Amino acid sequence: MQKRKLGKSNLEVSALGLGCMGLSFGYGPAVDKQQGIALIRAAVERGVTFFDTAEVYGPFTNEELVGEALAPFRKQVVIATKFGFKLDSNGRQAGMDSRPEHIKQVAEASLKRLKIDTIDLFYQHRVDPAVPIEDVAGAVKDLIQEGKVKHFGLSEPGAKTIRRAHAVLPVTAVQSEYSLWTRGPEAEVLPTLEELGIGFVPFSPLGKGFLTGKMNEQTSFNKSDFRNSLPRFKPEALKANQTLVELLGKVAERKKATPAQIALAWLLAQKPWIVPIPGTTKLNRLEENLEAANVELTPDDLGEITSAASKITVQGARYPEHLERTTGL
């Protein structure tokens, strides 16, 4: 697996990481623990060195799973986790909390669950409007000075927030949803990251599974799958958005690849400091995703995809309006 550096930082990771959330949370029932450990270790064996989790995935159980799975490989992997949500007594998200004292409590708890001495990359999971980003950066700076965190990241921030945070503490990576059907970061975020030398980590790079070409308007999800609540996964939107999958399928056929591989290869080709983190619970899908790093798209291929995609209007909002800025998924 090729390596990439996240921006100007010295943090080098595999060109594709593994988003671990779906093993415990979000996409239906959690996988069996041993199955989850086996999948994460299979990723390590295939060259993946970058693993993404968060305290709210589960909550807590995903960090524990990642910690146990990666314990034998600690020196060769980079583990990213996140802070920034308030959890009620049932472990449900109950708003945001990026107060400096809370950030420090979360760091201590995450270190224990992950069985590590230092968090490689600590993201603010969502921007908290009640806490100045300078205070957030200052708290992470303290943790870095104490040796408990190595790198600072932000998830789903706007360009102004990135600049303000970066002025206090260099931001190593920004994580936001980015794929051929969610292209919001292209307008302001990506140019800001390029200017400041910050890496970019697209989550849901396969459109929460849609860009694999395995869904249509008949697709139904487990009742605990959060896609049931997303406008973009309503039957009429799934039907309308098939044109995007057809485009990927056309290129995939020519390249002897799959739609998922083309979607990931397109992301990798955008910038050398972009590291997508597709998630999966299945070994064959993991192998398929990782093979995307070997798919070479020519300038003509990229031009064709970008041009055709720009003519397609994606139907359905990414999240329901009340969740757009607050969800940790």
Closest to 185 (Cα-Cα) out of 168, 170, 173, 169: 173
Residue identified by tokens 């390596």 is 3
Burial class (CB within 10 angstroms; exposed 0-12, middle 13-18, buried 19+) of 227: buried
Q: What is the pTM of this model?
A: 0.97
pLDDT tens track of the chain, all 329 residues?
Answer: 999 999 999 999 999 999 999 999 999 999 999 999 999 999 999 999 999 999 999 999 999 999 999 999 999 999 999 999 999 888 888 999 999 999 999 999 999 999 999 999 999 999 999 999 999 999 999 999 999 999 999 999 999 999 999 999 999 999 999 999 999 999 999 999 999 999 999 999 999 999 999 999 999 999 999 999 999 999 999 999 999 999 999 999 999 999 999 999 999 999 999 999 999 999 999 999 999 999 999 999 999 999 999 999 999 999 998 777 666 66
- Find all residues with CB under 8 Å of 41, minimum gap 6, and list them: 69, 73
3-323 falls under which CATH superfamily? NADP-dependent oxidoreductase domain (3.20.20.100)
- Residue listed under structure tokens 């910038």: 271
Has 57 been annotated as catalytic?
yes
Q: Domain residue spans in the chain?
A: 3-323
Do residues 40 and 84 make contact, with C-beta atoms less than 8 angstroms apart? Answer: no
Catalytic residue among 57, 123, 178, 319: 57
